[in-house]
Structure 1
Amino acid sequence: MRLEDYKYIYFLGIGGIGMSAIARWFHAKGFPVWGYDKTSTPLTKALEQEGIVVHYEDNLVHLPAEVLENKQETLVVLTPAIPAEHQEWAYLKENGYTIRKRSEVLGIITASAFTVAVAGTHGKTTTSSIVAHLLHQAGISCSAFLGGISVNLNSNLLIGTAAGERETIVVEADEYDRSFLTLHPDIAIVTSADPDHLDIYGDKEELIRTFQKFISQIKPGGCLILNENTDSRLTDQIQEGVQVIRYSLEAGDGVVQGLHIEGRWFNFDVQTPFGNIASLKLGLPGFHNVENTLAAVMVAQAMRVPATAIQEGVVTFKGVRRRFDFVFEGNGKVYVDDYAHHPKEIDAFMSSLRALYPDKKLKVIFQPHLYTRTRDFADEFAESLSKADELVLLDIYPAREKPITGVTSEIILNKVTSPVKTLLSKEELLGNLGKNREFDVLATVGAGDIDTLIEPIRNFLEKDAYGLE
C-alpha cells in the first residue's frame, strides 16, 4: 500500500489523541480530511478550527460526496474503539473501501523515514515529547506523532520542514492491541514493560513476547535505549548489530547524578556512553520524568545534538498536558492534574508529589480506567493510592469495555488505608470540595473523562481563594 495512491482520507474515531495527530498530518500534507467521532471535545473542536470537517452522528448522510464518489482513491482510517455495529463502518466495509487501522497507517508513514519510536507501558508520551522537543530546538527537522498535547507545540503533532532529504519522525509506539508491531525503528526507547492491557494479552508472558517482537524489528545498525528495570528477556530476539544501552536513575550505561530539587525544578547531571552533560534543569517535576529525560537525552546525543543545545532543550521543555500539570495555585492551595492510570504510574506521581510537598495534606481524586484493569490490579491501586491523606474514588470509566459483575471502584476503596476515603460520582465532587476544604495539595488522576472536571475544579478554587461563592 502506498499513500500516493489516495486522495481523500476519512477517519472513523477522529477525536482520539493518536487518530487526531494522523488527521492533522494528512491535512497539513494537503489531503482533504473528514471524520466521525462519538462526542465533541476540545480536541475535535480544534480539528474543526483547523479546517477538518467532523460530525458526531453515526449516519450515512454524513459521508462526504468525495468519499462516496471516489472509492478507489479513499483511505479510511479506523480506531479499534469503533463498535462492530457502527453503520458507517459497515457501509464502507461492504462496499470494498480500503480500511486501515491507525497503527497500520502510522507504519506506512514511517516506513521510509528515520524513525525514533518510544514504547513502554508508561512514560512514552512524555518521553517522545521530550525527544521531539530536543531535536526541534536543536534545529533538526523532524515530524512527531505524540500521544498527548505538547505544551510547547500546543499540539500532538510536529511537522518537519526539511525538503528533499530523508524525513526524521518521532513516534509514540503504542503496545495496546499490538499496534507498535507496524513499526521498524532506527532508534527505539523502551521505558517500561509492566503488566497492562491484560484484556488484550491475557498474561504478562504474552506482553513480554510482544515487546520482544517489537525490539526485534529495530533496523540493523540501530539502537535500543532500554530501561534497566525492565524484564531481562526483552532483548532475547534482538537483531545482531543493534546497540543496546540500558538506563535508569542509578544503574545502567546511562545514569543520573547529583539529582536535587529546587522549588519545582529538578536539577541533575547525566553520564551516558555518548558523553556526560552537567547542569540539566527540568521544569517538569517527577523522578520518573528525570528518568524519561535521560532516555530522551541519549537519543539526542546519538543524533549528534551538542550538549549545549540539549541543556537549552531540557530547560525550555514545558511538558505535556495532563502530565504533572499544575492547574492552580492560590490561597495556600496547589492543584495538580495527571493522566496516570496504572498503579506504577500513580506510585511514581504520588512519590514525586510527596517529594515536592513533604509536609502538606494531600487530597487525591482518582477515576479508575477500565473494568479489567481495576479487577487485575485492585491491590496495587490501593497500595499506591494509600499515599494520599484523603482519597476520593470516582466510578470506573469503562472506555471500550462492558461492565464486569462485581467489579466497581469499591473493590479498590475497601483496600485503601488512607485515613479519609470516600466513593463519589462526578456530579457529587464539587459539593464534596465545598464541604471539605482541609487540604493543601489537590490532585486529579486518571485517563477517562476526569479531565472534564479540571475547569470546574479550577473555577471553584479560584472563587474560594477570593472568598466568593
Structure 2
Amino acid sequence: GSDVAYSDVTKSFKKQEVKIAIGPHRAINVPKNTQVVVFSPAVLESNPERKAARKRGIVEVSYPEMIGHLMVDKFGITVSGTHGKTTTTALLGHVLVKTKQDPTVIVGSFVKDFGERNERLGKSKLMVVEGDEYKASFLNYKPKIIVLTTIDEDHLDYYRDIKHIKAVFQEYLLRLPPDGIVIANADDQNIKDVLKAVASLKVVTYGIRAEYNFSSISFGKTSSSCVIRHHEEFERLEIPLLGMHNIYNTAAVFACARTLGIPSKEIAKAIKSFKGVWRRFDIRGTKKGVTIIDDYAHHPTEIRALINALKQSYAGRRIVFVYQPHQEDRFIKLFNKFIEAFDGVDLLYLAEIYAVEGRDGKHDSSKRLLVPLRAKKIKAFYYPTFASLKKELLSEVKKNDVMVFVGAGDITKLRSEFEKSIQ
C-alpha cells in the first residue's frame, strides 16, 4: 500500500509486515503483480497510482465497494451516523466477541480490545462494520441491521445541506432487505425525520423514552453507569466510558445485542470490560499532576459533547483545551457553530487548521475564531506552529490541570511531544 505520510495507521500495518510506500503518490508504488487497487473515497481519479492502475488494466475498487463485496455472504451490521459510530462499532464488536459470537469487525480507529488494531477476523457469519456517510460510502454496504446513532450537518464539500444528508440516509435505510432492522436513536430529530419516510421498516429505538430507555445516570472520573429498560426487563450497566453521548452509544449496542438474542447479563458483563478506542476520550495518564487526554472530536457537536463530559467528570479542575480544526471546508461552512462550541473551557488554544489533501485549498485560518470567541469572554489564543504552541503550553500548565488535545488531524503528535517534555 501507500500513504503520503507516516502515521499510527501505517505503523500498525508495518507491524503486520505490510509493505507501505511513504511519500508523494507515484505510479511506481503499484507493484508489478497487482491485481486490484483499493482506494479511499478521498483519493481522486487523477491520483498517479490510480492512473497507473487504469493504464495497466488493473481493477480499481473503492474501500466502501470492497467492504460491500466482503459483506455479501455475511450477516452484516453497519453502525452509521455523523457522530458516535466509531465507539459504537468498537463496543458492539467487543460485546459480540465476549459473548462468543466470533464476529468479523472493521472499525475506523484502533480498538484496545483488539490489540490496538482496527479489525478482527471472525469465523462466524456476523460482520460488524463502521458505515461512513462521506460521499455516501455506506450505500455500497449490504447489511441486515443498521444501527443509526445521529444525523447532523457535516461533509458539506459533498452534501448540499442537511436535507440532502437526510435524503441519502433515507436511501441507505430503504436498501435494507425485507427482514432488515434499524436500531435508531429516538432522541435525534433528524433521525426521526428520516424514519417517518421509511415507515415500512422494522425499527427498534433507544433513548430517554424509547423502547430501550435509560435512567439513573451517573458519571465518575473514568466511567459512568445507567439503568437500561426494555418493557419489563432492566439491567444496570457499568460503562467504562464518559459523557452523555456514550450513554447513547452504549444503549445502541445493548439494543442491537438484545435484538440478536444475547442475554442482558452477558451484554452488561461484556460492556463493563471494554477498554476503549484510540483517541476517543483517551486518558493518556497523569504527568506532574496534569491529566492528559487525547480526543478525535472535530465537529462542533462533538466538541460540545466532549466539553460536557469533561465538566461532569473533572468538576472543579481547570480545563485546558487544545484544538486543531480539521479541513478548511468544514471550518468555513460550520464557522458559526464553532463559535458556540467551546463554552465551558477555562483556556482554549487554537492550532492552525489541518488541511486535507485533495479537499482543501481555501487558505482560511483558525485565528479567525479569536475575535468572536473573546467577545464571548472565552480565553482563546492562537499559535501557528506546534513548536510555538508546545512552548506556551509548557509554560502555562499547572498542577491539577486537565489538558485535552482535540482534533482529527495530527494534533496527537503535539500531545506526544508535550507528554515527553513535561516529564
In the alignment, which residue of structure 2 is the partner of 1:62? 29
- Contact kept? 1:391, 1:418, Cα under 8 Å: no
In the alignment, which residue of structure 2 is the partner of 1:415? 372
2:71 aligned to 110, 117, 141, which one? 110
In the alignment, which residue of structure 2 is the partner of 1:426? 386
- Once the two structures are overlaid, the 10-residue window that deviates more, 343-352 or 217-226, is 217-226
2-side partners of 1:213 and 1:81: how far apart? 22
2-side partners of 1:225 and 1:150: how far apart? 22
Determine whether 1:245 maps to 2:204: yes
Question: Which 4+ runs in 1 deviate beyond 6 A?
Answer: none
Secondary structure (helix, strand or coil) at the match of 1:299 reads: helix
In the alignment, which residue of structure 2 is the partner of 1:87? 48
In the alignment, which residue of structure 2 is the partner of 1:319? 276
Determine whether 1:456 maps to 2:417: yes
In the alignment, which residue of structure 1 is the partner of 2:15? 49
- Contact kept? 2:235, 2:265, Cα under 8 Å: no
For 1:70-469, list aligned pairs within 5 A.
Answer: 74-153=35-114, 154-162=116-124, 167-228=125-186, 229-231=188-190, 232-238=192-198, 240=200, 242-248=201-207, 250-272=208-230, 276-400=233-357, 401-404=359-362, 407-416=364-373, 417-424=376-383, 425-438=385-398, 440-461=401-422, 463=423
- Contact kept? 1:121, 1:191, Cα under 8 Å: yes
- Contact kept? 2:287, 2:419, Cα under 8 Å: no
- Once the two structures are overlaid, the 10-residue window that deviates more, 253-262 or 171-180, is 253-262
Q: Any idea what the Cα deviations from partners look like across 1:253-310, whole Å, max 9, x if unmatched?
A: 221111112442211110135x633221011111111110000011111111112211
Letter in 2 for 1:309: E
Q: CA deviation at 1:333?
A: 2.0
The number of equivalent residue pairs is 414
2-side partners of 1:386 and 1:197: how far apart? 24
Secondary structure (helix, strand or coil) at the match of 1:391 reads: strand
Letter in 2 for 1:176: Y
- Contact kept? 2:212, 2:251, Cα under 8 Å: yes
- Contact kept? 1:265, 1:283, Cα under 8 Å: yes
2-side partners of 1:418 and 1:146: how far apart? 39
| Cα RMSD, aligned residues only | 1.7
Secondary structure (helix, strand or coil) at the match of 1:53 reads: coil
Letter in 1 for 2:126: T
Q: Any idea what the Cα deviations from partners look like across 1:334-367, whole Å, max 9, x if unmatched?
A: 1111100111111111001100111111110000
TM-score (norm 1): 0.85
Q: Any idea what the Cα deviations from partners look like across 1:422-459, whole Å, max 9, x if unmatched?
A: 10122212100122124611101100111112211212
- Contact kept? 1:216, 1:237, Cα under 8 Å: no
For 1:15-26, list aligned pairs within 5 A.
Answer: none
Q: CA deviation at 1:252?
A: 1.9
- Once the two structures are overlaid, the 10-residue window that deviates more, 289-298 or 277-286, is 277-286
Q: CA deviation at 1:42?
A: 2.5
1-side partners of 2:279 and 2:128: how far apart? 20
1-side partners of 2:144 and 2:377: how far apart? 46
Secondary structure (helix, strand or coil) at the match of 1:384 reads: coil
Measured at CA, do residues 139 and 437 of structure 1 come closer, stay the same or move farther in structure 2, by a change above 3 Å? Answer: same
2-side partners of 1:96 and 1:262: how far apart? 57
1-side partners of 2:264 and 2:366: how far apart? 47
Letter in 1 for 2:26: N
- Once the two structures are overlaid, the 10-residue window that deviates more, 225-234 or 344-353, is 225-234
Secondary structure (helix, strand or coil) at the match of 1:442 reads: strand
2-side partners of 1:305 and 1:245: how far apart? 15
2-side partners of 1:184 and 1:239: how far apart? 20
Q: CA deviation at 1:418?
A: 4.6
- Contact kept? 2:394, 2:418, Cα under 8 Å: no
- Contact kept? 1:125, 1:172, Cα under 8 Å: yes
1-side partners of 2:141 and 2:171: how far apart? 11
2:6 aligned to 31, 40, 48, which one? 40
Q: Any idea what the Cα deviations from partners look like across 1:372-392, whole Å, max 9, x if unmatched?
A: 111111221121213211100
Measured at CA, do residues 394 and 97 of structure 1 come closer, stay the same or move farther in structure 2, by a change above 3 Å? Answer: same
Q: Any idea what the Cα deviations from partners look like across 1:95-123, whole Å, max 9, x if unmatched?
A: 32210111111111112210111000010
- Contact kept? 2:222, 2:240, Cα under 8 Å: yes
Secondary structure (helix, strand or coil) at the match of 2:419 reads: helix
Letter in 2 for 1:61: I
- Contact kept? 1:224, 1:243, Cα under 8 Å: yes
Q: Any idea what the Cα deviations from partners look like across 1:17-53, whole Å, max 9, x if unmatched?
A: xxxxxxxxxxxxxxxxxx1211122321221221211
Secondary structure (helix, strand or coil) at the match of 1:415 reads: helix
Secondary structure (helix, strand or coil) at the match of 2:93 reads: helix
Q: CA deviation at 1:205?
A: 0.7
Structure 1 stretches lacking a partner, 5+ long: 1-34, 68-73, 464-469
Q: CA deviation at 1:161?
A: 2.7
